[in-house]
Amino acid sequence: MSPDEHSVAATGEFGLIRRVTEGRGQPPSTLLGPGDDAAVLAAPDGRVVVTTDVLVHGVHFRLDWSSPEQVGRKAVAVNLSDVAAMGAKPTSVVVGLACPADTPAQVVTEIMDGMWAEAGAVGIGVSGGDLVSADQLVISVTALGDLEDREPVTRSGARPGDVLAVCGRLGWAAAGLAVLRRGFRSPVGVVNAQRCPEPPYQAGPQAALAGATAMMDVSDGLLADLAHLAAASEVGLDVQTALLEVSTRLKEVGSALGADPLQWVLTGGEDHALVATFPPFDDLPEGWRKIGVVTMPGSGVTVDGREFDQQGGWEHWQQ
């Protein structure tokens, strides 16, 4: 059977590469972009921040829930968020995409459109990548960043007495997922938070300049990710619910679905907000808000001073 004329098989690997790369501009930091055996990137700081995430259809996204462009934006956003969480400025992304032979070429083109759009939003480009055949749609993105002569902000620098703060939304993506699982597609703002996160990219370098002692992005749920930060820093962390923002929209969705919106805020993942610790007497950077404090080692992650006994957060192979 001959392939459908609109499929990736009919378009061919190199024809598809031309479709997704021709006419695309590159920032000055990309010295040599797609078309050779490898890209060449400038590294002014002499150090390069590198991170990779893999997104699998049916696990991280669904094309019956999201448009291909939204999938592309999400694939890039989740990686650029990790770069920002190190206090670095994104400089480039490299993409690997695998899909079945009967995948419409337009789907791949639109995924790449979304990737270029999200990368362009922070002034960078897609420097290269690879396209291969597979039994299901899988997207791998590697993002790179520049520390701009700063030290990286890791998970291991928090100290007792530090302020725990967050920048970005919490709970929205989890609420959107709950809506989609019920078969609904609105409210659009909540659903789109799940389809395509909006990480506060600039907040990472801002936090680094302001003296953040530790930082990470919230991908698997606030409490789950704070447990990683607490372990790396060998401290405790206490989240104070009175300081958390639970928007009116989340309360409305929670009421409609019979769910507690605070649970989404505390345990829901995929918003890709940034969470950081700061010295106790310093002003927080613009956009950051206090949500708790760093406590003594051995106290773990608590909520209002007590252990949180409701399960949440994401861990692969454990769901």
Q: Please indicate if the annotation marks 282 as binding a ligand.
A: no
The answer to whether residues 60 and 161 touch, using CB atoms and an 8 Å cutoff, is no
Q: Please indicate if the annotation marks 64 as binding a ligand.
A: no
Q: Please indicate if the annotation marks 316 as binding a ligand.
A: no
Q: Please indicate if the annotation marks 304 as binding a ligand.
A: no
Q: Please indicate if the annotation marks 51 as binding a ligand.
A: yes
Q: Please indicate if the annotation marks 4 as binding a ligand.
A: no
Question: Which residues 6+ apart lie within 8 Å of 288 measured at CB?
Answer: 165, 166, 167, 203, 207, 276, 278
Q: Please indicate if the annotation marks 82 as binding a ligand.
A: yes
Q: Please indicate if the annotation marks 314 as binding a ligand.
A: yes
Closest CA to 136 of 167, 100, 160, 187: 100
Q: Please indicate if the annotation marks 219 as binding a ligand.
A: yes
| 59's tokens | 């696990």
The answer to whether residues 315 and 224 touch, using CB atoms and an 8 Å cutoff, is yes
CA distances from 41 to 28, 52, 152 (A): 9, 17, 20
The answer to whether residues 102 and 7 touch, using CB atoms and an 8 Å cutoff, is yes
Give the chain's count of helices (H) and strands (E): 10, 13
Q: Please indicate if the annotation marks 130 as binding a ligand.
A: yes
Q: Please indicate if the annotation marks 217 as binding a ligand.
A: yes
Q: Please indicate if the annotation marks 135 as binding a ligand.
A: no
Sequence-ordered strand ranges (E) for the chain: 30-32, 40-41, 49-56, 89-99, 126-133, 138-146, 163-167, 214-218, 236-239, 273-278, 289-295, 301-303, 306-307
Binding-site entries = 37, 51-53, 60, 82, 129-130, 155, 217, 219-220, 270, 314
Binding-site entries for ATP = 129-130, 155, 219
Binding-site entries for substrate = 60, 270, 314
Binding-site entries for Mg(2+) = 37, 51-53, 82, 130, 217, 220
